[in-house]
Structure 1
């Protein structure tokens, strides 16, 4: 009997290991080749991936791999799809049917938008999300793909409650949420929610730090006879209560995004990220679920790799969620089995880099050139990623020369080390000596393949917009 018990336990653990999901975003100036990323997924035993689009090269790389896929529809396409069943059918034909032919890409879900009800969007997508969801699922059904389910990844701010048992949907969208839940239930589709304990800590200085993690707290949240020792379980149960009160106690729930950043904030660091993600995996792989539901929800880690072209409107941490660095190098040990052993992730293979050279401040620059230093740094950080220079970040301790060098190098690498991009009116010079200092790494970018160039052709311009806020980091210069 004891032997049989452990066989069953191992069967459950293996099942959960095989079900691990990750978010794979590509908002990078130099994205890894899809073929390299897919091999990295396979090498690490990751069998589910959530995308934010259905980019052709990515989808082809996922063909015949056995990796289960959730494709995504960006928010800016919701209005088109909501107002035209023809456009919805065309989207399904182009982004699902073409790749799912004969099951070559194992598409399981279509994510309709991404957190479209965020209060910061001021209602921009509210009238389009539900019609878009309906049109996509109906188009899938008509195409003979009813086994593929449409869902809407929603932020945890769609529901509220001081304690989980008080959980209810936001009053301004309550009726809409019930309609969405009814439609999901009628089609056998899951409710998808994104949960970010890090943001609870980031947005509230009084939030108890230990409550964001899974290794116990001296201040549990008491809800009647139930004690919650971590905010993840509490957030899930708040949703489960909201669903129950709305008449959907058994609607399946999928956690679309959850993770912890490693830079860009005083709480965004490798130690906290490892602590959170390892605790999360242990929590999920146990299969115990929460006090409301005794079964772990299917969960997708956010995210796979860092993305240096993401908007930093929410915070400088936005470009640092990856469990892997931009080049597919693991940031820290992470046991994906959830057993908390000190296991190393498997690095990306076959990555090629630009030459080993950096752009740094010219210590021999003239006094006239130095009068342009502040403007030059502003320009470099507007078009490069300087988020690691912010307060509490990995490069926050650099002096003014180090800050200038970091900014110049960020711009230089983003522009593929072009000779004319390390001048800055005589303030910068190329060096072959690594200027990294301790935990502050001066990157050398990867050499982008033709495929990756096609993927990021529209992305590089975005870093110029997103990077404007980054120059505020250097206002002390």
Structure 2
């Protein structure tokens, strides 16, 4: 990252192109409640200098946020509605903050973790988020359409911890990866089938 930054600086592009890296939410050692979010002791030695770099350069941290994985890993405690943005009311109370969906809770846990290690000014960009349409528990075309549609509508609102701050978010993925092995949910995240036909309708 430093070498790429130096190369950009040598041609005067350091203020136009930010250098960052992406992490999965597995870097969190604790994420519940969101305010208790903290990086794991295994991840922190690698993350600390990265966070220092991002703080110094004003670049965001890229995070791959998949409520689906949290949902299938905790079927007894996480409801499908909470994961799909469809809960009718708050599900988690964290001090004064109320959480109606798992996406916000995850992003705010990452913000809390950043703050605990000096990354108060580091923004989060969601570099991947999506929902599979087949291949596992809760993986249906209807759930995928619901999640992605609600995600698109929601990201402009920010999170309870940082309301009104638009969250730059990238949907994973454009096409199903039908040849990926082993077969499972990983094959079914696309908005389109491999034959380029849309799996469901979306409105941006």
Output the TM-score relative to the length of structure 1. Answer: 0.40
Q: Please give the per-residue CA displacement for 1:183-214, whole angstroms capped at 9, x wherever unaligned.
A: 01212211100000111122233131111011
**Cα distance in 1 for residues equivalent to 2:90 and 2:119:** 31
1:291 CA drift (Å) = 1.4
1:217 CA drift (Å) = 4.4
- Residue 71 of structure 2: SS of its match in structure 1? helix
1:161 aligns with 2:31: yes
Query: Which residue is 1:322 aligned to?
Result: 190
Task: Tell me if the contact between 1:211 and 1:217 (Cα under 8 Å) persists in the aligned partners.
Answer: no
- Residue 42 of structure 2: SS of its match in structure 1? helix
- Residue 158 of structure 2: SS of its match in structure 1? coil
1:162 CA drift (Å) = 1.8
Query: Which residue is 1:238 aligned to?
Result: 109
Query: Which residue is 2:140 aligned to?
Result: 269
Q: Please give the per-residue CA displacement for 1:15-48, whole angstroms capped at 9, x wherever unaligned.
A: xxxxxxxxxxxxxxxxxxxxxxxxxxxxxxxxxx
- Choose from 36, 48, 51 the match for 1:178: 48
1:229 CA drift (Å) = 1.0
Query: Which residue is 1:250 aligned to?
Result: 121
1:136 aligns with 2:4: yes
Query: Which structure dedicates a bigger proportion of its chain to helix?
Result: 1
Query: Which residue is 1:299 aligned to?
Result: 169
Query: Which residue is 2:202 aligned to?
Result: 334
**Cα distance in 2 for residues equivalent to 1:299 and 1:190:** 12
Query: Which residue is 2:59 aligned to?
Result: 189
**Cα distance in 2 for residues equivalent to 1:309 and 1:152:** 27
Output the TM-score relative to the length of structure 2. Answer: 0.91
1:161 CA drift (Å) = 2.5
Which residues of structure 2 form unaligned runs of 5+? none
Q: From the superposition, tell whether residues 168 and 331 of structure 1 become closer, same or farther in structure 2 (CA, over 3 Å).
A: same
1:282 aligns with 2:150: no
Coordinate RMSD, CA, aligned: 1.7
**Cα distance in 1 for residues equivalent to 2:180 and 2:13:** 33
Query: Which residue is 2:178 aligned to?
Result: 308
- Residue 157 of structure 2: SS of its match in structure 1? coil
Q: Please give the per-residue CA displacement for 1:83-127, whole angstroms capped at 9, x wherever unaligned.
A: xxxxxxxxxxxxxxxxxxxxxxxxxxxxxxxxxxxxxxxxxxxxx
Q: Please give the per-residue CA displacement for 1:334-357, whole angstroms capped at 9, x wherever unaligned.
A: 111xxxxxxxxxxxxxxxxxxxxx
Which residues of structure 1 form unaligned runs of 5+? 1-132, 337-477
Task: Tell me if the contact between 2:55 and 2:121 (Cα under 8 Å) persists in the aligned partners.
Answer: no
Query: Which residue is 1:223 aligned to?
Result: 94
- Residue 43 of structure 2: SS of its match in structure 1? helix
Task: Tell me if the contact between 1:214 and 1:230 (Cα under 8 Å) persists in the aligned partners.
Answer: yes
